[in-house]
């Protein structure tokens, strides 16, 4: 149980840190958010929970492929906001576009024989 609590606390601290730093300096918040901290934590938790390096390798490969469609959010959201769209519709549309990009990517990878 203590490991679960530690996971939640560490994960929450990273999210809060990014949000608080963004209030003062968006570049440093962006640097922190862009670091693969979540992935690193997931690798560590998975390895500590299972001791299975094969699972860690599979997770790493899956993350690699699925970072690509996630970029749709980061490209579309600022374009919409700077075009005069309000926040919630911009976030909704860019999130929907990202979901579609994930679907297309997973489908394309499965057709290529790459399983994520």
Question: Tens digits of per-residue pLDDT, 5-64?
Answer: 988 888 889 889 999 999 998 989 888 888 888 889 889 989 999 999 999 999 999 999
Give me the pLDDT at residue 31, please: 86
For residue 7, tell me if it sits in a domain.
no
Q: pLDDT value at position 93? A: 98
Q: What is the pLDDT of residue 48?
A: 92
Residue whose C-alpha is closest to residue 65's, from 89, 12, 90, 101: 101
CA–CA dist 29, 110 (Å, integer): 35
pLDDT at 94: 98
> What range defines the domain where residue 116 resides?
53-116
Once rounded to an integer, what is the mean pLDDT over residues 69-87? 97
Q: Is residue 81 part of a domain?
A: yes
Question: 35 lies in a domain?
Answer: no
Residue 4 lies in a domain: no
Domain count, the chain: 1
Is residue 25 included in any domain, yes or no? Answer: no
Distance CA 42, CA 59 (A): 9
For residues 81 and 68, what is the distance between their CA atoms, to the nearest angstrom? 22
- pLDDT class of 2 with cuts at 50, 70, 90: confident
């Amino acid at each position: 149980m203590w490991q679960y609590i530690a996971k939640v606390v560490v994960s929450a601290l990273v999210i809060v840190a990014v949000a608080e730093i963004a209030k003062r300096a968006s570049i440093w918040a962006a640097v922190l958010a862009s670091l693969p901290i979540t992935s690193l934590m997931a690798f560590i938790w998975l390895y500590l929970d299972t001791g299975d390096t094969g699972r860690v390798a599979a997770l790493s490969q899956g993350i690699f492929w699925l970072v690509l469609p996630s970029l749709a959010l980061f490209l579309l959201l600022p374009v919409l906001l700077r075009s005069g769209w309000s926040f919630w519709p911009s976030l909704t549309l860019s999130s929907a576009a990202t979901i579609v990009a994930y679907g297309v990517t997973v489908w394309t990878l499965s057709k290529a024989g790459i399983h994520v």
